[in-house]
Amino acid sequence: MAMPNEEMDSQTGLELPRLGQTARLFGRALVLRCPNCGGGPVMKNWFAMRVRCGRCGIRLERGEHDYFTGSMLVNYIVAGLLLLVALAVTLIVTWPNVPWTVLQIGGPIAIVIAIVGLFPFSKLIWLAFDLMLRPVTPEELEWHRTETTEWSSERSAPPDP
């Protein structure tokens, strides 16, 4: 039997994610659109995000200069899982004549391709994940639209609300 968990009460600011909203956030991220509004553009190119969404104006780093550390984690985990699946399929299909040399050379190349290929998705999925737990308020969105500082280049902390 589970003990009553009183610590849950201290997590103010965290909303219980709703299924429909969650599906919408991640669905938008998977088609490279802004998780917040479904519009865009959000990418400068495949390797760089815009500072803000071109439609709703949300800052895609949410004002935190090391915001995307988590997105790199998403990137590596998804890339790793995909390659494990690919490796398993190759072993099953080619057994017992597994092309070990091809795997040795192709493996690292596939890792790089997967990480680069997943780059924009992982950033938007990370933002969707964040919006799921901390939905953006109208006040925050207003700050996103008016704040002009580039946190990625200036190592200063965002102002307290």
Least distance CB 112 / Zn ion (angstroms):
30
Length of the chain: 161
Tokens 């190119």 belong to which residue? Answer: 45
Least distance CB 95 / Zn ion (angstroms):
48
For residue 90 the two structure tokens come to: 């190759």
Least distance CB 39 / Zn ion (angstroms):
5
Least distance CB 140 / Zn ion (angstroms):
13
Q: Closer CB to Zn ion, residue 34 or residue 125?
A: 34
Q: Where are the alpha helices (DSSP H) in 31-137?
A: 69-94, 100-133
Tokens 């429909």 belong to which residue? Answer: 20
Could you give the CA distance from residue 30 to residue 42 in angstroms, rounded to a whole number? 13
- Evaluate whether 118 touches 30 at the Cβ level (below 8 Å): no
DSSP 8-state assignment for residue 151: T
Report the interface residues with Zn ion, using CB under 5 A.
34, 36-37, 53, 55-56
Helices 100-133, 69-94: crossing angle, 10 deg rounding: 140
Least distance CB 54 / Zn ion (angstroms):
7
